[in-house]
Amino acid sequence: MKKILVAALGAGALVAFAGAAPATAASADTAMLSVLHGVPDLTVDVYVNDELTLDDFAPGDLAGPLELPGGTYTVAITAADAADASSPAIGPIDLPLEAGVDYTAVAHLSEAGDPTATLFTNDTAQVAAGEGRLTVRHVAAAPAVDVLAGGTAVITALANPQEAKLDLAAGTVSAAVAATGTTDPVLGPADVEVAEGANTIVYAWGSLEGDNLDLAVQSVAVAGMHSAPDSIPAGSAGLVATNGPDSSAPVWGAVIGASLLAAAALIVGAARRRAAARAGR
């Protein structure tokens, strides 16, 4: 228990302090796999290639990321008290994991309410500076939904087990989920912070009929996913320049004269503005 707590805190610290810095990232040789448990009321064991990998995995929990060599892995999900993977509640399913790619495998309910599992590929393509990616995944026993941001539908007719994504200005989005074509939320509105340079993945999970719909969130950031500003314009007066005002002027007399005049005008203007600024303080 303590160990799990430490790990959870550590993960929290990573998110809290790393900004978008990844704890680990898929290298050219390995794939990254996270696992989300989105089946309500069912604690499970997860077997990977017949080896017990997640013991007593609770609904709403996210595990990983696991760094795995590229290849196909067989995942079976059993009741928590199963002796082995021979009679899974979900699966076995094959997960083809490609090296260099970030995945989340989700155990969840189908639209009809049956336990199933879906492998999602997390989009880690570079985003523009100042922007973050928001991915929404419908893994709930519920009909197709619209996703509302600030009351407006930004994603429409999203059905289980589909995803939709968009890049938007980083910051907090008030997100809600409503039956498609409606604006009356079945989930939310809830504030979702879309981190800059990262993929913020929101899952709608649970069951509409079971009255336990909920939102889960995962952040995925890998090296090279964010963009840097183009430049830092950090001076406009030339007051500490290592060159004089006329050193860059062409040699022709007329132009020199004009430049000097312009420079003089600027200097006078600057002095006035400075004086004005001082007087105004």
CA dist 43 and 81 (Å) reads 9
CA–CA dist 43, 89 (Å, integer): 11
If one asks whether residue 49 binds another protein (CB under 8 A), the answer comes out as yes
Q: 187-192: long-range contacts (C-beta < 8 A, 24 or more apart)?
A: 187/213, 187/214, 187/215, 188/148, 188/215, 189/148, 189/151, 190/215, 192/134, 192/217
Could you tell me which stretch among 128-136, 145-153, 154-162, 176-184 binds another protein (CB under 8 A)? 128-136
3-state secondary structure of 18: coil
Residues 211-230, mask of contacts with another protein (x by CB under 8 A):
---xxxxxx---x--x-xxx
Q: How far is the CB of 245 from another protein (least distance, A)?
A: 5
84-103 residues in contact with another protein (CB under 8 A) are none
Q: Give the integer Cα–Cα distance in Å for 191 and 199.
A: 16
The count of other CB atoms within 10 Å of the CB of residue 273 is: 11
Enclosing H/E stretch for 277: helix 253-280
List 234, 251, 254, 279, residue binding another protein (CB under 8 A): 234
Nearer CB in complex with another protein: 238/257: 238
- Judged by CB, which is closer to another protein: 211, or 230? 230
> Could you say which residues in the range 177-196 bind another protein, by CB under 8 A?
190, 192-193, 195-196
- Segment interacting with another protein, rule: CB under 8 A, options 17-25, 112-120, 149-157, 176-184: 17-25
Tell me which residues in 249-268 interact with another protein (CB under 8 A).
259, 262-263, 266
